[in-house]
Amino acid sequence: MTKVIVITGASSGIGEATATLLAKNGAKLVLGARREDQLKAIVQAIQEQGGEAVYAVTDVTKQEQVEALKELALSTFGRVDVWINNAGVMPQAPFMAASVQEWEQAIDINVKGVLYGITASLPVMARQKAGQIINIASVEGHHSHVGGGVYSATKYAVRAISDSLREEMAQMEGNLRCTVISPGAIQTELVGTVADENIKSAYEDFYRSHGISAERVALTIQQAIDLPEDTAWNEVVMRPIKQVL
Ligand code: NDP
C-alpha cells in the first residue's frame, strides 16, 4: 500500500532528505516547516521526479498549525500512515550564559512540537487501526555535556515520551507503532543555529571531519517504515563509525 507520510521540519537536512527518499520510493508526502520557499522547492523537485507531495507552512510551536498540517494530509490523501516528528533546534551554551530564550524555544520546538504531532496524528491512527509515529531524538538524548544540557534534556524527553507512547499504542486495537531515531553527527544546517561562536566553530570542525549525510538517516527511516506491520524498531541509535560519543 502507498503510504501517506507527514514530516515536520521538512525544509532542510534530515527532513528534506527523508521526504526526497520516501517520495522516490512511492510514498505520498505532506511536508511542514516555517520556510515556505524551501518547502515549495522541495515539493516541486519531488513532483518533477514523478512523486506526490504537498506542503503547509507549519510552526510546530503552534498547535493549531500542526492540526492544520494533519488536516491537509487528510483532505489531500485521506489518511496518515506515518507521522515523523523531526523539527528541532540545538541550543548549545553553558548554564552560566543563562540563554533563557533559547531554552524556551528548544523546549517549545523539540518537546511541545513533538507532543502536538502526537496529539494530531494518534487519533487518526487509532481510527485507521494502523500507523507509525517516528520521533527524532539524538545520541545527545543518551548523554549530556557542558553546554548541551538543555538540548539533551529535550531529547531525553523525546525518548521518555516515546516509551510511554509505545506502551499506549501497544494497548490499542490494530498495528500502531512508535519508533525513535537517535542520530549522531549528521551534516545539516543544525549546527548553523548554535549562537555561541566558539561552540559553533568546534561543532563545525567536528561535523566536517566526522559527520555523515542526512541521506543515511533517511535510509534508516525508510527501513523502519518497511518493517512488517506487526514489528517495530522502538529505537535506532546511529552515528558515524568514527564518532566516539
Ligand atoms: P536542520 O536545521 O537542517 O533542520 C531542522 C528543521 O527543523 C528545519 O526544516 C527547520 O525548518 C525545522 N524547524 C525548526 N524550528 C521549527 C519550528 N518551530 N516549526 C517547524 N519546523 C521547525 O537540522 P537537522 O535536519 O539536523 O535536524 C532535524 C532533527 O534531527 C532535529 O530534531 C535535530 O535535533 C535532530 N538531530 C540532528 C542531528 C545532527 O547531527 N544534524 C543529530 C541528532 C538529532 P524551518 O526553519 O523552515 O522551520
Secondary structure in 3-state letters for the chain = CCCEEEEECCCCHHHHHHHHHHHHCCCEEEEEECCHHHHHHHHHHHHHCCCEEEEEECCCCCHHHHHHHHHHHHHHHCCCCEEEECCCCCCCCCHHHCCHHHHHHHHHHHHHHHHHHHHHHHHHHHHHCEEEEEEECCHHHCCCCCCCHHHHHHHHHHHHHHHHHHHHHHCCCCEEEEEEEEECCEECCHHHHCCCHHHHHHHHHHHHHHCEEHHHHHHHHHHHHHCCCCCCCCEEEECCCCCCC
Q: What is the mean pLDDT of each run of 10 residues along the chain (245 residues)?
A: 96 98 98 98 98 98 99 98 98 96 98 99 98 98 97 98 98 98 98 92 94 98 97 98 91
Q: How many angstroms separate the alpha carbon of residue 124 from the centre of ligand 1?
A: 25
Q: Which of 36, 83, 86, 162 to mutate to test the pocket of ligand 1 (most atoms within 8 A of CB)?
A: 86
Q: How many angstroms separate the alpha carbon of residue 173 from the centre of ligand 1?
A: 32
CATH fourth-level superfamily of 4-238:
NAD(P)-binding Rossmann-like Domain (3.40.50.720)
Q: What is the set of active-site residues?
A: 151
Query: 186: Cβ below 6 Å to ligand 1?
Result: yes
Query: 88: Cβ below 6 Å to ligand 1?
Result: yes
Q: What is the pLDDT of residue 1?
A: 80
How many Cα atoms sit within 13 Å of 230 on the Cβ side?
A: 0
pTM for this structure? 0.99
Query: 202: Cβ below 6 Å to ligand 1?
Result: no
CA 85 to ligand 1: nearest atom: 32
Domain parsing of the chain, residue ranges: 4-238
